[in-house]
Amino acid sequence: MIIEIKVPSPGESITEVEIASWLVRDGDLVTKDQELAEIESDKATLTIAAEQAGKIKILLEPEVLVEVGAIACTIDTSIVPEEGAEPVTPKAEEKVKTTEESKPDAKEKASVPDELSKVKVSPVAQNIMEEEGWTVEDVVKGLHRISKKELEAVKNNVNSVVSSGLENEPKERALDRNKMSSLRKKLAQRLVAVKQETAMLTTFNEVDMTNIMALRKKYQSLFVEKHGVKLGFMSFFIKASALAMAKHPMVNSMIDGDEIVTPNYVDVSVAVQTPKGLMVPVIRNTESMSLAQIEDTLKQLAVKARAGKISLDEMTGGSFTVTNGGVFGSMLSTPLINPPQSAILGMHNIVERPMAVNGKVEIRPIMYTALSYDHRIIDGKDSVGFLVTLKKMLENPELMLTGGDELEKLVLDL
């Protein structure tokens, strides 16, 4: 029996997708539910799975736009793999073949020039060379530049592979061209549209991370033991942002035609860098979630995004975005708004800086924060006030229990 496998739809508004790559070869024997291909659209990446076991016949070429619903391949269920057989992907076979071909035989290894036979090789280096199938001659030929470090190594008579007769050969001049994916194209269009269609402005502040870092250090092991997930910085920023929205709801608003829409919930989109580009999975109802729930949800979404398994529903509907450039070492930036949202919070790296504390100079771990916002609906009062409220709660985490209000005010009913 021949069954047809059709191209699935990533969403209602999508009519065309791109087959990014086939995970099997034409004529392979596949098992039921085995992943056959990766489908990429301008919004999400998903996979095609085998509905039944059998022999596959591929009908569509990779890296070509095809219509949703088109027949991607067929499976002949009358020819099935042996029971218990492991599915072999093309990448795995090619890797084995390439590795075997790259290893020189014993005769080639033995043919080492006399002048290189006296070169000393450390045990660690020898193991690496054996794994890669390299000879001493291969390593010496791979050195194109002698630096001061190599010369000092020779002078001090340490185990180094250095040759004094190497030529400084120029690198081959070449251009590497790669086709833009549908996801990357759509991302580029959205980023340009943000600059053209919004009145974007960015305001900054700084946060003393001393108390949060002390809190994590003191309770990290207990937190992991109870909740099964590590306590990071992102959950503090997401939770504090959601609570600050109660005082500054316009930061959580968006423009819809001639109307301003302000949800009574805070769905936070979190920017996650993946091999296929930037994705923004959404954590919903963060205003009612605990730090542990935020961390757990964030971990699950990030893993799915990086593996290309995240669904379209999990990336739509956010009302506010948090992005952390600090993981890449960014000191300061002006993040771009994620439309149709009206604001995005940028986190950065934590650096020890001299600060004036109670009239004295102290070294404190400081993070610069940035809020980019659409000035058409968010005024300076709300944007600056939002960052100030956020700063207060991050520098004094106990204020998250009161939504940013001082405990003394609650006692005095003020």
Per-residue burial over 130-161, b if 16 or more Cβ lie within 10 Å, else e, is: eeebbbbbebbeeeeeeeeebeeeeeeeeebb
Backbone angles phi, psi at 333, to 5 degrees: -155, 170
Q: Region of 323 please: left (phi>0), alpha (psi -120 to 50) or beta.
A: beta
Residue identified by tokens 């100079």 is: 361
Backbone angles phi, psi at 164, to 5 degrees: -85, -10
The Cα–Cα gap between 216 and 36 comes to: 43
The Cα–Cα gap between 324 and 349 comes to: 8
Backbone angles phi, psi at 287, to 5 degrees: -65, -25
The Cα–Cα gap between 93 and 97 comes to: 6
Backbone angles phi, psi at 318, to 5 degrees: -70, 150
DSSP structural state of residue 191: H
The answer to whether the peptide bond before residue 113 is cis (omega within 30 degrees of 0) is no
Contact status, residue 17 vs residue 39, Cβ threshold 8 Å = yes
Contact status, residue 250 vs residue 320, Cβ threshold 8 Å = no
Q: Which amino acid is at 323?
A: T
Strands 320-324 and 268-270: parallel
Q: Region of 99 please: left (phi>0), alpha (psi -120 to 50) or beta.
A: alpha
**Which residues are the active-site residues?**
375, 379
Q: Which amino acid is at 116?
A: L
Q: Token pair for residue 74?
A: 């067929």
The Cα–Cα gap between 40 and 182 comes to: 7
DSSP structural state of residue 199: -
**What Å distances lie between residue 315 and 268, 278, 284, CA to CA?**
10, 11, 11
The Cα–Cα gap between 321 and 242 comes to: 11
